[in-house]
C-alpha cells in the first residue's frame, strides 16, 4: 500500500468513506482529512503538504469551483486537484476543467477515481518541474547579466590606468629630441590596441546596461552632418585597409537633440558593419532631414542580408553569417535598435542578398534648438 | 573662508581619490610630471579627511570605490558648506550618472578613458597660479 495524504472537501460523511475505500482498493494507504468550509480548506492548505485534493462539486455551504480557486491560490497548478460529483452538468464540468481542475469523476462511477488521481498527480509534477526549470533558467540569465556587468566594470579599471600610461608615454616621447621613430610607432600601435580594447569593454558595459534596463539618455544639441564627417575621418584607416571608397552625403546641417555619444556609437557600428560586410566595394554615408525626422544612413554593396534574416539581426547575439568568418559580439545592431527606440526613433534595413544593404537610423529631432 | 596658498609657484594641490592603485599612481605621476602638487586618498573616507586637512584646489573623485564611494562623498560634501567650496570633478566609467551627481556643485566629469589634455585643462583651471 502506498501512503497518500488526501485533503477531501466533502459534506457527506458517507461519501467521504466511499472515497477513502476506493483509494484503498486502488492500492493507497490514504490518510484522509475532511473539510467542509472555505475557512477549514484554507487552514488545511496552509498546514500541507497534500498529495491530492479531492473535492465534491456541490455542497450546501461550499462548492467545488470555489475550492479549486482556493487550492490554485495556495499552490498554483502544483497541488493535484480532482472533482467528484453526484450530479454535475456537462457545462459545469467543462467550466471546472477550464478553470484548472485536473479531472472530474462521477460518484456513480467511482472506479475512475484512482486513475484520475494518479494522472492528475503526474500532471501536477510535470507542471512543477516546468516551473522549476523556468526559474533555473531565469536565475542563470540573471547570473549571466550580473557577470557581464561586473566583468565590464572590472575590465575598465586597469584599462583606464593602461591607457593613461600609454598617453603619458606618448607625451614623453613627443618631448624627446631627436624623436625615436621606432618607439613612437610602437607606442602608437599599443595605444590603438588599448583603444580597441576600451571600445569592446564599452560595448559590454552598454549591453549590460541595456539588459538590466539602466539606459538613461543624455540628450544635447548637435549636428548629425558634422558627426558623419567626423566619423569618416575616424574610419579613414579601416576604410583604407579594406580598400573601400567612402562617399559622404551631408550637404546641410541636421540639427537635433540626441545623446551624442550613443548616436555616434550607433553610426560607428553601422559604418563598421558596412566595412565588414561590404566586400571592398564603395560605401555611402549620409545624413539628411526630412519631414522633421533626421536620418543617418549607410549603404554598402556587399554580401547583403537574406529577407528571413533581416529582423533577426536586430536581436541580441544574432548575426546573419557564421561568427567565425567575421569578428564582433553580434550586439551592435541590437544596441542600435534599443538606443534608437529610447530616442523615439528606429533603425531600418533594406537589403538584397548579394547586392548590399542600406541601414537607416531615424531620429525625431527632439526639442531642436 | 580663505584657502591658504600652497608653495610651488602658487600652484595648488590636486587630490586624487581613487581605490585602484595603478590608476592612482598613474594619475599622480602624470600630474607631478606636469609640475602639480598631488595628494592621494584610497577611498571616500580618506578623501573627505584629506579635503578638510589640505583644502586642495581640485579633487579628482572616482565614483566606484569599496567602502565609501564617490556618491557618498558628494552627499557629505553637499551637507558641509566648508567642503562645498572645494571643486570636485568625477572620474567615471558610466555615461549614466545618478541625478544627484549631475548637480551643479561638481566642476567636471572625466570619463574613462581619461584624456590627458582634458585632464590638464581642468587642473590648470582650478589649481593654476592665477587662482
pLDDT tens figures, A304-320 = 888 888 888 887 766 66
Instruction: Quote the CA–CA distance of A104 and A40 in Å, as a whole number.
Output: 22
Tens of pLDDT, residue by residue over A295-305, are 999 999 998 88
User: Does residue A235 surpass a pLDDT of 90?
Assistant: yes
A322 confidence band (pLDDT: 50, 70, 90): low
The pTM for the full model equals 0.61
Instruction: Quote the CA–CA distance of A67 and B43 in Å, as a whole number.
Output: 60
Mean pLDDT of chain B: 84
User: Does residue A187 surpass a pLDDT of 60?
Assistant: yes
State ipTM. 0.72
Whether chain A has a CB inside 8 Å of the CB on B2: the answer is no
Nearest to B84 by CA among B60, B54, B100, B106: B106
State residue A133's pLDDT score: 93
Whether chain B has a CB inside 8 Å of the CB on A160: the answer is yes
Mean pLDDT of chain A: 87
Q: Which residue on chain A is closest to B96 by alpha carbon?
A: A216
State residue A256's pLDDT score: 92
A110 confidence band (pLDDT: 50, 70, 90): confident
Question: In chain B, which residues have their Cβ closer than 8 Å to the Cβ of A153?
Answer: 64, 93
Distance (Å) from the C-alpha of residue A133 to the closest C-alpha of chain B? 35
Question: Looking at per-residue confidence, does A271 or A141 come out higher?
Answer: A271
State residue A210's pLDDT score: 81
Instruction: Quote the CA–CA distance of B45 and A131 in Å, as a whole number.
Output: 46
Cell of A98: 477550464
Question: How distant, in Å, are the alpha carbons of A52, A106, A117, B45, B98 from that of A13?
Answer: 19, 17, 20, 73, 66
Question: Looking at per-residue confidence, does A366 or A343 come out higher?
Answer: A343
User: Does residue B100 surpass a pLDDT of 70?
Assistant: no
Question: Looking at per-residue confidence, does A214 or A151 come out higher?
Answer: A151
Residues 6 or more apart whose CB falls under 8 angstroms from that of B117 comprise none
Cell of A333: 545592431
Domains of chain A by range and CATH? 2-132 (3.40.50.2300), 138-211 (1.10.287.130), 219-364 (3.30.565.10)
> What does the angle CA B95 – CA B97 – CA B101 come to, to the nearest 5 degrees?
140
Q: Nearest by CB to A214, which of B29, B96, B114?
A: B96
B5 confidence band (pLDDT: 50, 70, 90): very low
Percent of residues, chain A, with pLDDT higher than 70: 95
Residue the block writes with cell 550637404: A251
User: Does residue A368 surpass a pLDDT of 50?
Assistant: no
State residue A152's pLDDT score: 82
Instruction: Quote the CA–CA distance of B88 and B74 in Å, as a whole number.
Output: 9
CATH of B14-127, one of 3.40.50.800, 3.40.50.300, 2.60.40.1580, 3.40.50.2300: 3.40.50.2300
Percent of residues, chain B, with pLDDT higher than 70: 82
Amino acid at each position: 500500500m502506498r501512503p497518500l495524504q488526501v485533503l477531501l472537501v466533502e459534506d457527506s460523511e458517507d461519501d467521504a468513506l466511499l472515497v477513502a475505500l476506493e483509494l484503498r482498493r486502488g492500492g493507497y494507504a490514504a490518510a484522509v482529512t475532511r473539510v467542509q468550509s472555505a475557512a477549514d480548506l484554507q487552514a488545511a492548505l496552509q498546514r500541507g503538504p497534500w498529495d491530492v485534493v479531492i473535492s465534491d462539486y456541490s455542497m450546501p455551504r461550499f462548492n467545488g469551483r470555489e475550492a479549486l480557486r482556493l487550492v490554485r491560490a495556495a499552490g498554483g497548478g502544483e497541488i493535484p486537484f480532482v472533482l467528484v460529483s453526484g450530479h454535475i452538468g456537462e457545462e459545469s464540468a467543462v467550466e471546472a476543467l477550464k478553470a484548472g481542475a485536473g479531472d472530474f469523476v462521477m460518484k456513480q462511477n467511482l472506479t475512475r477515481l484512482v486513475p484520475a488521481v494518479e494522472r492528475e498527480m503526474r500532471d501536477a509534477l510535470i507542471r512543477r518541474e516546468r516551473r522549476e526549470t523556468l526559474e533555473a533558467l531565469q536565475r542563470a540569465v540573471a547570473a549571466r547579466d550580473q557577470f557581464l556587468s561586473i566583468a565590464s566594470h572590472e575590465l575598465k579599471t586597469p584599462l583606464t590606468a593602461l591607457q593613461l600610461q600609454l598617453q603619458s608615454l606618448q607625451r614623453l616621447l613627443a618631448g624627446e629630441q631627436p624623436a625615436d621613430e621606432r618607439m613612437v610607432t610602437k607606442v602608437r600601435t599599443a595605444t590603438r590596441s588599448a583603444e580597441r580594447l576600451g571600445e569592446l569593454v564599452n560595448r559590454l558595459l552598454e549591453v549590460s546596461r541595456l539588459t538590466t534596463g539602466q539606459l538613461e539618455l543624455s540628450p544635447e544639441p548637435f549636428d548629425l552632418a558634422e558627426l558623419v564627417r567626423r566619423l569618416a575621418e575616424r574610419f579613414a584607416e579601416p576604410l583604407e585597409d579594406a580598400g573601400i571608397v567612402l562617399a559622404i552625403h551631408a550637404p546641410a546641417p541636421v540639427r537635433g537633440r540626441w545623446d551624442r555619444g550613443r548616436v555616434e556609437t550607433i553610426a560607428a557600428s553601422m559604418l563598421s558593419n558596412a566595412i565588414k560586410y561590404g566586400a571592398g566595394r564603395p560605401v555611402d554615408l549620409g545624413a539628411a532631414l526630412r519631414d522633421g525626422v533626421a536620418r543617418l544612413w549607410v549603404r554598402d554593396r556587399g554580401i547583403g542580408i537574406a529577407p528571413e534574416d533581416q529582423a533577426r539581426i536586430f536581436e541580441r547575439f544574432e548575426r546573419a553569417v557564421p561568427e567565425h568568418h567575421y569578428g564582433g559580439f553580434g550586439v551592435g545592431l541590437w544596441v542600435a535598435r534599443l538606443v534608437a527606440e529610447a530616442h523615439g526613433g528606429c533603425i531600418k534595413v533594406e537589403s538584397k542578398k548579394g547586392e548590399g544593404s542600406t541601414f537607416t537610423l531615424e531620429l525625431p529631432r527632439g526639442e531642436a534648438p | 573662508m580663505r584657502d591658504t596658498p600652497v608653495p610651488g609657484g602658487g600652484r595648488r594641490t590636486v587630490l586624487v581619490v581613487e581605490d585602484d592603485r595603478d590608476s592612482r599612481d598613474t594619475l599622480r605621476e602624470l600630474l607631478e610630471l606636469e609640475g602639480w602638487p598631488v595628494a592621494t586618498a584610497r577611498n571616500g573616507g580618506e578623501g573627505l579627511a584629506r579635503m578638510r586637512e589640505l583644502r586642495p584646489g581640485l579633487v579628482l573623485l572616482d565614483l566606484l570605490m569599496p567602502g565609501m564611494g564617490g556618491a557618498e562623498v558628494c552627499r557629505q560634501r553637499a551637507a558641509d558648506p566648508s567642503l562645498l567650496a572645494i571643486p570636485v570633478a568625477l572620474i567615471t566609467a558610466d555615461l549614466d550618472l545618478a541625478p544627484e551627481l549631475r548637480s551643479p556643485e561638481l566642476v567636471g566629469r572625466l570619463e574613462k578613458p581619461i584624456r590627458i589634455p582634458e585632464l590638464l585643462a581642468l587642473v590648470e583651471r582650478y589649481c593654476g597660479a592665477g587662482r
